[in-house]
Each structure stands twice: as structure tokens, then as C-alpha cells.
Amino acid sequence: MTSAQHLATIERLCSADFPAEHGRSDVGTAGPGYHIAELATSEDFWEDDGTAWEETEEQYEADRDGLSELLSRRWGAPQRVSLRSVFGRTASGEDIPEPWGDLSSHVPDVHLWKADHHDRWVALGVSQWDKELPFQLLAVITEIDPP
């Protein structure tokens, strides 16, 4: 997908209704109060010596930063929010609302805006569940305030 397609997906989800139940959507996952768009997904790293992993991590972070610049033209500079403490709170048993609780387990930080005219939060992050698994560029659109 191109940056224009990513922006179109984000804009569409800013206006889309949220589903009543958790499940898959045409672009990722969704649930009550949120959409998570999987904008890009890399290959896995089962056969990698570490070189491709590092290059892919850098590329996905650069893609996030480039898309972040485009969204900043619409909504101003993003807040840069670490989700590490949210993950710690979730791990210690605190009930963190979705999408934030689950997101914190595989996305260390996000670029975050309050979308004008939509009253929704928009977050961009790079996900990776484990060293062998793919990276994903994610866009989160939610009415649920960040913890």
C-alpha cells in the first residue's frame, strides 16, 4: 500500500462505525470502540541471521515516521507515547481497556493524535510479537482514551 492508501484507510476508519463484537475487519481487527488497521506486514524471520530483522525494523519505523509526518500536516505534531508502563500494568493484573491493553504487549510506543472533526484518537505504531515473527505497521482508531 502507498502512503495515500494508508491515509485513505485511516480517514475511512475515523468515520466508520465500531462493531459491537471483537473480530476481524477488512483491514485488520476491530471491537467495541476501536479499529486496528494492519497497514503493512513484513515477512517472518525464522531463517534470518539478524541482518534482515534489523533492516526491516528500521524500514517499518521509517514508514511510521513518514506517515506520521503526513498526519501531522492535518492534526499537528503527535504525542509520542510509550506503552511499556501500560504493558507492566496489564502484566500485574490491572484491567486496561482495549485496544490499549493488548496493543501494549507488542507495540512499545505510538505516535498519537486526537483527530479533528472525528473525536477519535489515531495512533501509529510498529508491532512485533517476537523476534521470528513479522513486523506490522498499525494504525489504531479509537474513541477510548489512552490509559
Alpha helices, H only, the chain: 3-15, 51-75, 84-91, 100-103
Burial, 48: exposed, middle or buried (Cβ in 10 Å; 0-12, 13-18, 19+)? Answer: middle
Q: Would you give the distance in Å from CA 43 to the centre of its chain?
A: 18
Q: Kindly state the DSSP code that residue 99 receives in the 8-state scheme.
A: T
Domain boundaries, the chain: 3-142
Q: Which residues pair with 81 in a beta bridge?
A: 110
Per-residue pLDDT 10s for the chain (147 aa) are: 789 999 999 999 999 999 999 999 999 999 999 999 999 999 998 887 778 888 999 999 999 999 999 999 999 999 999 999 999 999 899 999 999 999 999 999 999 999 878 889 999 999 988 888 999 999 999 999 999
Residue 129 and residue 142: Cα distance in Å, rounded? 21
Question: In the block, which residue shows the cell 501500560?
Answer: 86
Phi, psi (deg, nearest 5) at residue 37: -95, 130
